[in-house]
Amino acid sequence: MKPIDAFGESVDTPDLQLKKVIEALLFAADKPLTPERIAELLVDDFNLSKHKVKQVIAILVDEYQDRGVQLVEHVGAFRFQTDTDLTDWVQLLWEEKPQKYSRALLETLALIAYRQPITRGDIEEVRGVAVSSSIIKTLQERDWVRVVGHREVPGRPAIYATTKDFLRYFNLSSLEALPTLSEIRDIDLISSELMSQLEFDTSPEETTNTD
């Protein structure tokens, strides 16, 4: 009987060269790759289907499971990353302190994450202060939030929501993976909950001092 992979399907022994190529692509990519994208990249050299790529990925996921570097899935795409249990040691590679985010930026991002879709005016109503344009610009430049529409009221304000890159950066499989808050009323609570997710980030990025 053939072994069953992580997707619940029978596994054929992959061609060694194909396995090495897919492993190299996932390692070298600057962003997570979907099985569909990998199949597209290799269509000229291998007789591939999405099912075959998923089989190879499942094997690689299993092989890297107990290593310092693991192959993980984020929103249907795959990437290599260090084991989150090793964060304290990995951070020793960089002299800089972990990235800091202003309270105002964290509050804004938390409100968008928990109350999306939401307008800038909605955020200002909850926070009680104006939202700096630089905060919204920073969140969009990092591709954590995007405009998903406009409210049909005078001025047609933009409506914001989080992106797939937000989920990937904060190591979340979906929005449902955010800490559960029965009633989001305490801004200190929601920003601290989001800050807890940042503890898993090991990227040596510059400090953000947005107010």
The pLDDT tens digits of the residues spanning 39-63 come to 999 988 887 888 999 999 999 999 9
The pLDDT tens digits of the residues spanning 70-121 come to 999 988 899 999 998 888 888 778 765 556 778 889 889 988 998 899 999 9
pTM above 0.75, yes or no: no
What's the pLDDT score for residue 183? 44
* CA angle at 73 for the pair 50 and 191, rounded to the nearest 5°: 145
Q: pLDDT grade, residue 174 (50/70/90)?
A: confident
| Residue range 123-134: mean pLDDT, rounded | 89
Give domain limits for the chain: 16-82, 103-198
Asked if domains 16-82 and 103-198 share a fold, the reply is: yes
Q: Does domain 16-82 have CATH number 2.60.40.3670?
A: no
CATH tag, 103-198: 1.10.10.10
